Amino acid sequence: MKNTSNNPQRGQAIVLGASIGGLMVARALSNHFDSVTIIEKDKVERQPSTRKGQAHTRHLHGLLPGGLNAMLHYFPDLQDALAAHGANVCDFAKDMVWYTYGGYRQRFDMNLIGATMSRPLLEHLVRERVLATPNIELMDNTAVKSLIASDDQQRVKGVHIELAELGKSMDLHADLVVDVTGRGSRSAQWLRDLGFEAPETSEVKVNVSYATRVYKRDLNDPRSSNWMLYTPQAPQEMHFAGMFPIEGDRWIMTVGGWHGANAGNDEAAFMDFLRKLPMQEYYDIVSKSEPLSDIMTYKFPHSLRRHYEKLQRFPLGYLVLGDAVCSFNPTYGQGMTSASMQAIELDKMLGANIADEKLALTFFARIAKIIDIPWQMAVGEDFRYPATEGPKPAGVDFINKYISRVHRATLKDPVVCDAFLRVMSLLKAPTSLFHPKILWRVMWAG
Ligand SMILES: Cc1cc2nc3c(=O)[nH]c(=O)nc-3n(C[C@H](O)[C@H](O)[C@H](O)COP(=O)(O)OP(=O)(O)OC[C@H]3O[C@@H](n4cnc5c(N)ncnc54)[C@H](O)[C@@H]3O)c2cc1C
């Protein structure tokens, strides 16, 4: 996959942030730039580990089939490497025990391959592959403080960085800088400092809480290779639970809810919560399994989208991508897939030699199309709860009524189930659920 661009090599690129989004975009840029430097404020271990800037990576993470496909585009051996490290690489439809809308979804063989593993393992395997690319380097323990601009402030020419270990600051120059610093991105302020408008934002308040615990997994239990999911029939049910097999013969179990509904974070409340779930597997397995961690909690107040696609002007030599553009309610598991798809889009655009002056606005328009789908799916579901606040997409109540019927139909009908899971996995557009072939089956099932 190296150097597929028709362009001469473009000099130096800098990527801010070494999480999944930053790693994927660095790999994409390595096809078009002489050298790519990733700058990460945390110290990065060359092994699976959680970093200070990434509290969320301690919690349940699944890699959707769409995300695995996107990663395999650059790292064809990733699926085998995941399996070799003990991750659970499995058929999304066949191996998932999923209770929703009052019943268990039947399990069908659909060859929809996704993965469950600890998030640090996935990131480590991606990072090792990215850093094995000859023209990519990582500067960790280094925080980006501000942008360096041309005298007329129209072009970003690099970044001002602070090296924690050496206790010194310096300037790094580049032909392209990409901000992948996540939800806390400071691009809006940096743009204002250069005299540009900051993007409008959409916030959808969901108040989702997570409580996560890791357990030893008994491989003799026939359920040990199933990933288990309980999703609520909203609005009457407000909780969710997921228990995924991960490397090291462990389970990672996350429970939580919307709008303040949570599982409690002490042992007794946690177990009581599991006992009351309609899916008995959780309590049954957990009560016989050795806990390997404390109960860790996480709060996600709102989904956040920054509408870069609406801007009319943008500095040359600068882009923003991943959670820095859109951070989705994590219960739908879409963030890594969306960021990876955005990185591939950038690779395609650089390969098509889009003029420098048009690059940013064209890029934001294209990734808006990628983001629209998971955003509408996530926000649409969230608006089933009356307590959800924020910009509500038009027609969402009508669509939700239909999707409720789809959910029910997926419990028994393999054709509807296949169509639904492909949409959920970000492999197909949601409009495919309105194809007459599906519509008829959904109505008939209802
Ligand atoms: C609780 C939770 C569960 C989730 N579960 C899933 C899931 O199951 N599946 C899924 O696909 N997605 C999931 N996500 C989303 C997923 O984690 C993100 O979408 C993914 O990490 C991609 O984000 P990113 O790389 O854009 O940003 P981030 O992961 O936020 O990374 C930003 C990076 O930038 C660094 N950084 C920040 N500021 C600076 C600076 N000034 N200088 C240098 N470096 C800086 C940070 O240290 C960090 O490494 C979940 C998210 C949460 C919160």
User: Which residues are within 8 A (CB) of 246 and not within 5 positions of it... i.e. 6 or more apart?
Assistant: 86, 87, 88, 116, 117, 118, 121, 214, 252
Tell me how crowded residue 380 is: count the other CB atoms within 10 A of its CB. 18
Alpha helix (H) residue ranges in 394-435: 396-410, 414-424
Instruction: Report the separation in Å between the CA atom of 408 and the middle of ligand 1, taken as the mean of its atom positions.
Output: 33
User: Which residues are within 8 A (CB) of 398 and not within 5 positions of it... i.e. 6 or more apart?
Assistant: none
Residue with tokens 């993965």: 115
Pairing of strands 227-231, 96-100: parallel
CA distance 434 to 445: 15
Q: How far is CA 111 from the centre of its chain?
A: 22
Nearest CA to ligand 1 atom 12: 335
Report yes or no: 92 and 65 within 8 Å, Cβ to Cβ. Answer: yes
Q: Is 162 in the pocket of ligand 1 (CB under 6 A)?
A: no
For ligand 1, mutation pick of 15, 20, 178 (most atoms within 8 Å of CB): 20
DSSP annotation of 120 reads H
Q: Is 213 in the pocket of ligand 1 (CB under 6 A)?
A: no
Nearest CA to ligand 1 atom 25: 21
pLDDT in tens, the chain (446 residues): 444 444 557 899 999 999 999 999 999 999 999 999 999 999 999 999 999 878 999 999 999 999 999 999 999 999 999 999 999 999 988 999 999 999 999 898 888 999 999 999 999 999 999 999 999 999 999 999 999 999 999 999 999 999 988 889 999 999 999 999 999 999 999 999 999 999 999 999 999 999 999 999 999 999 999 999 999 999 999 999 999 999 999 999 999 999 988 887 789 999 999 999 999 999 999 999 999 999 999 999 999 999 999 999 999 999 999 999 999 999 999 999 999 999 999 999 999 989 999 999 999 999 999 999 999 999 999 999 999 999 999 899 999 999 999 999 999 999 999 999 999 999 999 999 999 999 999 998 86
Q: Which domains does the chain have, with CATH numbers?
A: 12-75+121-202+306-381 (3.50.50.60), 88-112+203-300 (3.30.9.90), 393-445 (no CATH)
Reading the block at residue 264, the tokens are 């409690």
Query: How are strands ordered across the β-sheet holding 239-246?
Result: 103-104, 96-100, 227-231, 239-246, 250-257, 200-216, 296-307, 326-327
CA distance 77 to 97: 27
pLDDT tens figures, 70-124: 999 999 999 999 999 999 999 988 999 999 999 999 898 888 999 999 999 999 9
Report yes or no: 176 and 13 within 8 Å, Cβ to Cβ. Answer: yes
| Number of the ligand 1 atom closest to the C-alpha atom of 144 | 42
Instruction: Report the separation in Å between the CA atom of 21 and the middle of ligand 1, taken as the mean of its atom positions.
Output: 7
Nearest CA to ligand 1 atom 28: 182
Report yes or no: 283 and 223 within 8 Å, Cβ to Cβ. Answer: no
DSSP string, 148-199: EE-TTSSBEEEEEEEETTTTEEEEEE-SEEEE---TT--HHHHHHHTTPPPP
Q: Is 380 in the pocket of ligand 1 (CB under 6 A)?
A: no
Instruction: Report the separation in Å between the CA atom of 182 and the middle of ligand 1, taken as the mean of its atom positions.
Output: 5
Amino acid at 98: W
Q: Is 180 in the pocket of ligand 1 (CB under 6 A)?
A: yes
CA distance 204 to 261: 17
For ligand 1, mutation pick of 15, 16, 19, 42 (most atoms within 8 Å of CB): 19
Nearest CA to ligand 1 atom 53: 56
Question: Is the peptide bond preceding residue 65 cis, with omega within 30 degrees of 0?
Answer: no
